[in-house]
Every structure is written in C-alpha cells, then in structure tokens.
Amino acid sequence: MRRPATTDTTTWDERYRGEGYRYGCEPNDWLVAHTGILPTAGQALDLACGEGRDAVFLATRGLTVEAIDGSAVALAKGRQLAAARAATVTWRHLNLEGGWLPERHTYALITCHNFLHRPLLAALPDALTPGGILIYATYLTGQERYGHPANPAHLLRPGELRQACTGLEILAYQEGTTRCCGQPAMRAAVVARKTPAEEPK
Ligand SMILES: C[S@@+](CC[C@H](N)C(=O)[O-])C[C@H]1O[C@@H](n2cnc3c(N)ncnc32)[C@H](O)[C@@H]1O
C-alpha cells in the first residue's frame, strides 16, 4: 500500500511525551561542525525544530529565531529549554506539510534537521537573504534498511539535496552511509550560501 506523504503529528506528540528530551538538549552535530560560518545576527528559521535544541543554540548566539514544529508537546519542551538557557525563540505550531512556505528574502540562516517535505525544501533558497546560509541534514534513500524513516516521501534521493540548492554556493556536502545516534544511517547534509549582495561602488 502506498504510504501518504503527510505526517500525522499526533504520533510525534506521543513520542515526545514523558520525561526528558528525546534527542537531547545539545544541537545537531552538523550544525555544531559549521558554527564558524553561522551568522550571529539577523533572522533564523529552524524547520521541524522538535524540542528546540538547535533553535535555542542559535538564539544564544545572537540570532532572532523562529522555530516551527507540528508537535505541541515538543514545542512546550522547547520553551522550557529556552527559559533554562535565557534564550528568546518564537515558537510556531504548524503543519509544515500543509502548504505553508517561508517569506522570500528573509532569513540569514535556515536550518532543518531530520525532516523532509519536498515543496518546502524547494522554497528555501529563495527565502534566504543575500549571503544567507542554508544548513540541511536528513535521511537518504537506503535508510529503510536500518529503520526509520522508511517512507520514500521522507527520504532524499541521491543528489537531490545538492540539486535543491539552486543558486547557492555549496560550502560542504556529505551523502551516504554514516552513523547517527550510535547506529548506521543513510544521510545527506549540506551547507550552502546565497551569493552576497554586491558592495555599492
Ligand atoms: C526526527 S524529529 C527532528 C527534530 C529536530 N529537528 C531535531 O533534530 O532534534 C522530526 C520532527 O519533525 C516534526 N514534523 C514531522 N512532520 C511534521 C509536519 N507535517 N509539520 C511540522 N512538523 C513536523 C516532528 O514533530 C518532529 O519534531
């Protein structure tokens, strides 16, 4: 049977319920590995932010962060984490597979880890300001051999993430077998930059 492309976010609420943080409180490794090129001012967007580990990290570095997720339970934990770290984040409860797209030319940084909705991915280059950075990492076709996600709608095809960076300069790219949370995984990850605005002569 063909699985639907749209996620039931109540499933995510169940996963996030209970004590503690499902994915921990520290930011994703791919984000940390590129801390040196992150902007420290301007607007940032964290898509499918979960319990806010990346959003809070970015807010503590000076960015004005908008963090979106479909799980109200995860967002409540994100608020707690932000309060504990004296960080200000704008949390939005939204179904990212419902047709919402980010404003054009708005964000100095967009991050998305462990989530894929193809129409949204396609809109991200246009949502960056000149010089803006995209940091994206998620699972690749082949991941179904190791576990979740296994739905092809949520798995990047080989080369797809690179192709999605139309008009951006690729600063770092990885694709293939790796380890994630101590397990083998198939993943793709990119850091890409939109061409900076020309200096006035
Ligand atoms: C694997 S978690 C990753 C969370 C976070 N980015 C991280 O790395 O810790 C995937 C996230 O996508 C969110 N998600 C899944 N489908 C969604 C949808 N249709 N709209 C909004 N969020 C969704 C889930 O609630 C969950 O928090």
Average pLDDT over every residue of 158-180 = 96
Positive or negative, the Cα torsion across 9, 21, 176, 113?
positive
Please give the pLDDT value at position 7: 65
DSSP string of 82-94? Answer: HHHTT--EEEEE-
- Nearest protein Cα to ligand 1, atom 12: 48
What atom in ligand 1 is closest to the CA of residue 13?
25
How far, in Å, is the centroid of ligand 1 from the Cα of 69?
6
Average pLDDT over every residue of 137-164 = 96
| pTM of the shown model | 0.95
Spell out the CATH class of 23-194.
alpha beta
pLDDT digits (tens, 9 = 90+) for 26-37: 999 999 999 999
pLDDT > 70? residue 5: no
Please give the pLDDT value at position 181: 78
pLDDT digits (tens, 9 = 90+) for 29-67: 999 999 999 999 999 999 999 999 999 999 999 999 999
pLDDT > 90? residue 156: yes
Contact 117, 124 (CB under 8 A): no
Q: Is 143 in the pocket of ligand 1 (CB under 6 A)?
A: no
pLDDT digits (tens, 9 = 90+) for 82-134: 999 999 999 999 999 999 999 999 999 999 999 999 999 999 999 999 999 99
The two tokens of residue 94 are 């939204």
pLDDT digits (tens, 9 = 90+) for 9-18: 789 999 999 9
Q: Is 28 in the pocket of ligand 1 (CB under 6 A)?
A: yes
Please give the pLDDT value at position 13: 96
Please give the pLDDT value at position 173: 98
- Nearest protein Cα to ligand 1, atom 16: 7
Beta bridge partners of 185: 178
d(CA 71, CA 12): 6
How far, in Å, is the centroid of ligand 1 from the Cα of 199?
38
Contact 91, 67 (CB under 8 A): yes
When the pLDDT of each residue in the chain is averaged and rounded to a whole number, the result is 94
How far, in Å, is the centroid of ligand 1 from the Cα of 62?
24
Domain ranges of the chain: 23-194
d(CA 56, CA 82): 6
* H helix runs in the chain, sequence order: 9-16, 29-33, 53-60, 72-84, 118-127, 160-164
pLDDT > 80? residue 178: yes
Please give the pLDDT value at position 139: 98
Instruction: State how far the alpha carbon of 194 is from the alpha carbons of 44, 95, 150, in Å.
Output: 14, 27, 31
